[in-house]
Structure 1
């Protein structure tokens, strides 16, 4: 019964140098193909005996070139005192690149014995330069048996147009040699080119700690008796307006985690009547609200800042712009000029016989008569356990760092993590570069590139944002912009950007290879 021998392809890094350099291979599956009639046949001229080459693999798979063929010899494939060397070779016609692969050696009985004796007496120096064959076959011993040669080498671009040949050197008993070359494949079998899929990394940045200063503000449209500045809690709209103020202040004053640091109250009057009287009226009404709050909550007097705007011309400008009053352009020209307030009011009364002014008195001026307040306060810091509870009821009390820590504690794959990073933090820190860049990073992972870009445009000169913008450009095949942003981020020390530059280079190289292959 015929026995089939196969040889496993191994690393050649341990083989000695002998003119062709150091071989590096990879593990490879083996073929034992029998294709019927041999398509490559090596025949020596001065001796009887044959060596048949059957079956072959010469194809690209991924980043490697796979080569395999079977060689079958009979008992007289090599002269008794000589040898036959087969050297596989990859080359390009016209003097292009070429690559010689580890060789196969067939020996006759006498030559095999001579070789054995030589290796027992030769020096270590000679052995250190000896390049062993891939495998060696004693022709008289392995009669009519099949040997499989298989190897893989790193694939290079020039191999797209390469051919696979087998050089045969027959060495006779007196050292004479004859050389034959057999073509085994005229072209490499190319695998379908799948475009390289980049694997970019987004940058997430941990926010810095902060002193948590907050403020709460609002407007009160209080009604006062004519010529008076005393707040009457039950007068007209005052019950509703005072309730809004009390609710705002109580929510802060009653919270043990909060310390009120200041309160600013500003009174405003409409441009009706003399500027001097309006200046006094607006200040006194602000002072009245200050006294009301101080008495109700027993706040120290030093906590308050009281100021006033005698006539709110800026507010009037805004209201007129939003109204349907005509002639609007003439009214705005008067409102925004540099004349004294009383002179402007007089001119407004004369426009179109005073009709627009009367309408302003009824529809716009009441909204200008108000008292605005702002409560400034600070919030204590929380432990992670506390922050996980506070985020459910009063997320505005947390710093961005505290929210970020809570998100991380839930885990990056959790819904809570995504909700906090993408929605909650940007809601309370809408203009913060880190908040916008981190939210954009998660949008990129969801392939929402345009939404991510809009957030990153608000992130300013944050290096992590440059990296994330580069990732957006890379995903959208905007390679020049991607290169610029990634280079900028890498120079600033963003490690992800260095990785992404490598991914960009791989993508550009792959795109160029694909274009060249399509042109062939």
Structure 2
């Protein structure tokens, strides 16, 4: 169709006939709707000139222009000439006619979603027409309507990284004490029960035997012998020590009467190695090396005796520490319930620990409540996880500058991969794919790999993007790759407003306008902001003005 014709400035034969027959010039675009690819709007324009049309002396300057409300974008012009023109432009023969194809690209402008791509043609004659030696307007021919922005439907906030809480409903605390014995003895000396550590052990068991939210487990009595005697004798000795130790402590705990678990461990080789390793004995490495050479406990006993005669310090300082009954008591402390944590988070969040605050944010889908919990952890405990996770909440809400500030704060406190990943996400959301790629390339996490897929999507590398994406974002990539059936399959279990909107786009591309309207209706019900989005989306241009579309 001819959009407009400029006034012919001169009645040169060079252009009279061309102007009269300009409607015979055929133009087309592939794709028929301009497409956002990377940061540019692109299409390939083909212009066909019929036979006996193009004057042998004519030169045309054809400029692609994207026109929209409030402005226009001017592309790179293409020059075409007749057969007798002595220039180096594309030649269109007069007798047979001809064609050319031009790749057209414009930097993306959001105002151009509803726009018209037109070819503005200017003309001049190479000779024989003095008034037409300079290019002057000839015609303007429309080529395509609107810009498809499916690429922009990607959810760039999909792969933000939350730093997890370490909240545990039940925590276990322990108290230990040791009853020491003389060499080859198993009787408990009275002085052992008056030692501070034994008294603390007794107090611990009594305190938690009947305490709210506390469950006292078994009291363990583990008997050991030093590895400097016959193996069989030491096995029996360690058993006798565990029994005497349990009997002695049970008398002090009669009022509590806990359950006991008695066990004999024989010769304490591991304890021996630990004590020697931690000591300042000059030749301790040699001692440990020699002992490691023998698997037979009898042989090791012999070597111990040999060493005690040489290294007196073993007999005086190391072996006595191994002749013992080790008392152990464990208590499980049950923390606040989910309901209690939610209540505290809502009414008096400062009573919660850092882990409880971080956990509280996981108990709700309300973004405001999540933000409150994360900010409380950041403020009260200077929590790096609080700063990072609050940034995630802001980023998901599209508040990129606030998110970036919090991620940078967290990055100053920790080099955690989650924070680096999130800095890359806000860079991508800000339109800086190059900076985002640098962040993601430094990582090897699942989130960073998926985000690299989004970088490829933003740069127009749709096939490569599809290799790294999943779910909704993969569906976006597959639509751009032309795989509509696969995209539909991926969206079958997606319930978000964004997924419904993309389903509507696919339905329009398949020619199913009723399904498109139904999915648009569902999307708008979930997110009313999509009303304005749909009215400027060329994908729905065939619905513009229809009763069904206007009703939405």
State the TM-score, normalized to the length of structure 1.
0.46
State the TM-score, normalized to the length of structure 2.
0.44
If each structure's helix is expressed as a fraction of its own residues, which one has the higher value? 2
